[in-house]
Amino acid sequence: MTISIAHKFKLLKTSGRKALIPFFTAGYPSLAETEKLALTAVSAGADVLEIGMPFSDPLADGPAIQVSSFEALKSGLKMKDTFSLVERIAGKTGTPIALMGYYNPILAQGISKFVRSAKSAGVSGLIIPDLPPEEAGELRDIARDAQMGLSFLVAPTTGEKRYATIAKASSAFVYAVTVAGVTGARTTFATRTDDYLRSVRKAISKPLVAGFGISDGVTAKKMALRVDGVVVGSAFIDLMRKNTRATARARVGALVEEIRKSIDSLDSGRNS
């Protein structure tokens, strides 16, 4: 049985560890390969998995995730395939899984039906990048009843007054977007990213993860210092685009291990 994301964060906190959350696009480079990649990431130290549901118009995403979405859709991937992928991964690993996807495919299914299917596949959280809390009333009611976790995003441009609204709406974790921009691996961040993460941390007591642009142990450690976990996605997809499948899998595993080691080397007392 898979535990909830919220519970996972409690366990991590008790053991003084930061959450490592790899992201993979369902169906890229193939459905079978996504499963293998997810299993590899879990054995290399992932705490939670984020699985992307491809969308035709991923406007919050940079080139890497765009390409992975288009390729997955081109191969004929359907939402039910994503659900059965999640079911298999959850069954084999017990690792909590968050689904990331744009709003229209969810609306097209019907919110209730979508949440029900996701729940029965073993999804424990949803991240919808084009749905701010103000537009999420119906989903929040349905998710609450179904005990489905929701994660809303904060961005560097978010006014501090909105932090409370976003935290209140988030039942799994709050996702802090590290940069004003789209997803994609970066090697440098503005110095003010650190100030921003500090102020979000100060205002939000719920589990907080940072994502967008984290590409290696160094950037992960820098971010993890201020938050409870990190999401890494585009860096993996870049590896898949450049390598054969077996090589990519090995490198993804190695990168997860590198980030694991790096964030585990943080003194857990430093961020309180």
- In the complex, the residues that contact other proteins under the rule CB under 8 A are 55-60, 62, 66, 70, 73, 78-79, 102-109, 129-132, 134-135, 152-159, 162, 166, 177, 180-182
Phi then psi dihedrals of residue 50, to 5 deg:
-110, 120
Q: With contact defined as beta carbons under 8 Å apart, do 41 and 49 qualify?
A: yes
Q: Among residues 45 and 52, whose Cβ is nearest to other proteins?
A: 52
Q: CA-to-CA distance for 252 and 192, rounded, in angstroms? A: 29
- 50 part of the active site: yes
For the chain, where are the E strands, in sequence order? Answer: 19-25, 49-52, 97-100, 123-127, 149-151, 153-154, 174-177, 208-211, 229-232
Out of 50, 71, 228, 238, the active site residue is 50
Widest distance between CA atoms in the chain: 47
- 61 part of the active site: yes
Q: Residue 108 burial (CB < 10 Å; 0-12/13-18/19+)?
A: exposed
Shortest separation between residue 96's beta carbon and other proteins, angstroms: 23
Tokens 């999420």 sit on residue: 136
Question: Which of helix, strand or coil describes residue 208?
Answer: strand
Strands 153-154 and 174-177, by their bridges, are: parallel
Q: With contact defined as beta carbons under 8 Å apart, do 137 and 172 qualify?
A: no
Shortest separation between residue 153's beta carbon and other proteins, angstroms: 4
Q: Which of 12, 46, 39 is nearest to 220 (CA)?
A: 46
The stretches of 15-60 forming alpha helices (DSSP H) are 31-43
Shortest separation between residue 53's beta carbon and other proteins, angstroms: 9
Q: Among residues 66 and 171, whose Cβ is nearest to other proteins?
A: 66
DSSP single-letter state for residue 229? E
Shortest separation between residue 184's beta carbon and other proteins, angstroms: 10
Q: Among residues 30 and 109, whose Cβ is nearest to other proteins?
A: 109
Out of 61, 71, 228, 238, the active site residue is 61
Q: Among residues 23 and 55, whose Cβ is nearest to other proteins?
A: 55
Shortest separation between residue 261's beta carbon and other proteins, angstroms: 31
- The H or E element containing residue 239 is helix 234-242
Q: Among residues 158 and 234, whose Cβ is nearest to other proteins?
A: 158
**Which residues are marked as active site?**
50, 61
